[in-house]
């Protein structure tokens, strides 16, 4: 129904501003004969058939970099919330109250000295590394191409293979873009190799994690905890996660700050103006 409504509104449009929740396929693109620009309000663009848009000479733009700090802050917040059981403690207070202080009551863990493994060390992953260093964590990363020695030293991060990272990390943060190669990269086999005390934080893309396998790993305590800000079939998510105390669920709020969203809106608006003036937009992701 949403798609039918959308296509009915499009024929007279010159510019189409979309979000990650709007799927823009060939049918949508064909419904806009005079389309001059597809401006995605977000850093990701998996929701758009960029190749088809390129074949129609329609530039697709995104809003990179401006949400980097916000997403990195949320990632560190989730790590701290998991470690100190903050969300679980809030729930306890609201449901049954505070029974009184005791030496072993509601114990969590400090993150200082623990190893954070970052999967995907782009702008966001790099900022997470900087913030984690500031909190005394050891930082490792995996990406297809290792950084140079000066780059690693500037970030305080050491390279590990994916297999090494999942076995040695106390916390794993997923910050990679979704590709055909990393769909369900975190699966049953990976969870079996992770530490039983490890926590997984996914603030990258939902389909990188096999949520069914993650749910099983959390239920059996194969891994200790998880925090999810993105989901495999977003905005839908598996309701079975709700009953687990060792998982934090947030509604894709990584860049949900006034500062980040204002900056994203400015990029989108600037690109509309540029194209309307016959100039090239910034941050084109489907250049031929």
Give the H/E segment covering residue 74: helix 68-83
Tokens of 29: 């693109």
Instruction: Report whether 210 contacts 188 (CB < 8 A).
Output: yes
Within a domain: 285: no
On whether both 83 and 22 belong to a single domain, the answer is no
On whether both 222 and 108 belong to a single domain, the answer is yes
Q: Which residues are catalytic?
A: 205, 234, 252
Nearest to 216 by CA among 191, 239, 199: 191
Angle between helices 258-276 and 68-83 (to 10 degrees): 160
- Rounded to two decimals, the pTM is 0.91
Within a domain: 191: yes
Distance CA 263, CA 4 (A): 31
Distance CA 96, CA 165 (A): 39
Domain at 16, CATH number = 3.40.50.720
Tokens of 256: 């949900």
Within a domain: 237: yes
Distance CA 195, CA 13 (A): 52
Q: By three-state DSSP, how is residue 213 classified?
A: helix
On whether both 143 and 190 belong to a single domain, the answer is yes
Count of domains for the chain: 2
Domain range for residue 43? 2-65+256-276
Query: 143: which residues sit within 8 A by CB, 6+ positions away?
Result: 119, 120, 121, 122, 125, 176
216 — phi, psi (to 5°)?
A: -65, -40
Instruction: Report whether 79 contacts 101 (CB < 8 A).
Output: no
Distance CA 73, CA 56 (A): 39
The pLDDT of residue 6 is: 64
Distance CA 226, CA 232 (A): 14
On whether both 83 and 170 belong to a single domain, the answer is yes
On whether both 131 and 243 belong to a single domain, the answer is yes
Query: 29: which residues sit within 8 A by CB, 6+ positions away?
Result: 35, 38, 49, 52, 53, 56, 58
The pLDDT of residue 12 is: 77
The pLDDT of residue 13 is: 87
Within a domain: 150: yes
Divide the 288 residues of the chain into consecutive groups of 10 and give the mean pLDDT of each group: 60 88 90 93 91 96 96 98 97 95 95 98 96 98 96 97 98 94 97 98 96 97 97 93 96 96 98 97 91
Which single residue is written with the structure tokens 């389309």?
35
The pLDDT of residue 1 is: 40
């Amino acid at each position: 129904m949403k798609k039918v409504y959308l296509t009915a509104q499009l024929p007279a449009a010159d510019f189409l501003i979309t979000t990650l929740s709007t799927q823009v396929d060939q049918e949508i693109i064909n419904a806009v004969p005079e389309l001059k620009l597809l401006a995605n309000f977000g850093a990701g663009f998996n929701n758009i058939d960029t190749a088809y848009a390129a074949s129609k000479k329609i530039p697709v733009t995104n809003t990179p970099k401006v949400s980097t700090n916000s997403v990195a802050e949320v990632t560190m917040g989730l790590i701290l919330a998991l470690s100190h059981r903050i969300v679980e403690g809030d729930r306890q207070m609201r449901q049954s109250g505070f029974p009184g202080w005791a030496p072993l009551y509601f114990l969590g863990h400090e993150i200082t000295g623990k190893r954070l493994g970052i999967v995907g060390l782009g702008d966001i992953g790099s900022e997470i590394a900087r913030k984690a260093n500031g909190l005394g964590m050891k930082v490792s990363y995996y990406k297809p191409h290792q950084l140079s020695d000066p780059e690693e030293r500037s970030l305080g991060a050491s390279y590990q293979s994916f297999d090494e990272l999942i076995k040695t990390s106390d916390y794993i943060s997923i910050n990679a873009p979704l590709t055909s190669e990393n769909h369900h990269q975190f699966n049953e086999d990976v969870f079996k190799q992770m530490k039983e005390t490890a926590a997984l934080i996914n603030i990258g893309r939902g389909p990188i994690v096999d949520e069914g396998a993650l749910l099983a790993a959390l239920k059996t305590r194969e891994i200790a905890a998880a925090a999810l800000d993105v989901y495999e079939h977003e905005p839908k998510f598996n309701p079975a996660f709700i009953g687990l105390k060792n998982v934090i669920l947030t509604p894709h709020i990584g860049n949900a700050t006034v500062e980040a969203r204002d900056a994203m809106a400015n990029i989108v608006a600037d690109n509309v103006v540029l194209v309307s003036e016959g100039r090239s937009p910034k941050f084109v992701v489907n250049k031929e």
